[in-house]
Structure 1
Amino acid sequence: MAEKEGAIIKKDHQEGMQMAVSLLEEFGLPLGLLPLADIIEVGFVRSTGYMWILQKNKVELNFKMISKLVSYGTEITDYVEKKRIKKLKGVKAKELMLWPPVSEISVVDPPTRKIQFKSLAGITKTFPVEAFACGKK
């Protein structure tokens, strides 16, 4: 695929997790934002910000602080930039009885310390950034 050209690729769980976490850190995003299990591959193209994650199984996680159930598919793709993830595919958040795909995530600069999620369905939700800190599940 052309969008993967020039990518840095990590092929196992340990190295993939390290790379995913270091990218979240570098771009000012909460470290618990992508709770992943059994990673097969993580790739990142620095020139475009294109990132992908392949994992063995779908992961569902309940972020208790905000009572939000989130589903992470076996393939997650997005474009990462400072304090923002856009064109996100493979992540859904439960809203009432629906599972709208999350298409964009952005951290609102201080002093609010909020993180905003947008879905293709036009739903926008804002939560405290702390809800997605590493270990806050």
Structure 2
Amino acid sequence: MAEKAGKEIYHGHDICLKKSIELLEEFGLPGGLLPLDNIEECGVDRESGLIWIKAKKRVDHYFKKAGRTVIYGTEIRATIQKNHLRNLTGVRAKEYFLSIPIGEILVDEPSSGKIHFKTFGGISKSFPVEAFAVGE
């Protein structure tokens, strides 16, 4: 790990996968939200809330309990807050034959057991939080 003025930066798949799960859960988001392969770098700037993940290749992951395929690009960025990812880039949801960019992810507080995905165009879909648990 490297620390630069409030930033935590990690290199290598195993440590980055572990740290990304820990960070999501620390902020009240399901740890299985970013099931990535071949992660090269991840990091967080705790002052600004900026998080990023860089991977060697794109990942298409099917979440069985949500019945959806999510496409993760080679670089994902977002601002993380309690129960909330906003200004999200690098994540797209497959909807029929379309690939729609997801701009925001929000878990209800107090918990209703739902997680909401919003596009930049304002379209929103909700699913059970457990559909995005680690290993799903």
TM-score (norm. length: structure 2)? 0.93
How many residue pairs match? The answer is: 133
- Does the CA contact (< 8 Å) of 1:100 and 1:120 recur in 2? no
2:19 aligned counterpart, secondary structure: helix
Structure with the largest fraction of strand? 2
Amino acid at match of 1:57: K
Structure 1 position 96, deviation (Å):
2.0
**Matched ranges for 1:3-42 at <5 A:** 6-42=6-42
- Quick one: which amino acid aligns to residue 40 of structure 2? I
TM-fit CA distance, 1:14? 1.3
Offset of 1:109 from its aligned partner? 2.4
Asked whether the 8 Å contact 1:61–1:70 carries over to 2, the reply is yes
Counterpart Cα distance in 2 of 1:128 and 1:48 = 29
Is the partner of 1:66 in helix, strand or coil?
coil
RMSD: 1.3
TM-score by length of 1: 0.92
Deviation for aligned residue 1:110: 4.1
Deviation of residue 65 (structure 1)? 1.0
For residue 114 of structure 1, what is the aligned residue in structure 2? Answer: 114
The amino acid of 1:100's aligned partner reads: I
Q: Per-residue displacement from partner, 1:88-133 (whole Å, max 9, x unpaired)?
A: 0000001122111000000012452100000012210000001001
Q: How does 1:1-137 map to 2 (within 5 A)?
A: 6-136=6-136
User: Aligned partners of 2:131, 2:49: CA distance in 1, in Å?
Assistant: 25
Q: Secondary structure at the match of 2:95?
A: coil
Distance in structure 2 (CA, Å) of the matches to 1:71 and 1:19: 21
CA deviations 1:16-54 (Å, max 9, x no partner) are 112111101110100110001111000110001100000
Question: Structure 1 residue runs of 4+, over 4 Å off?
Answer: none
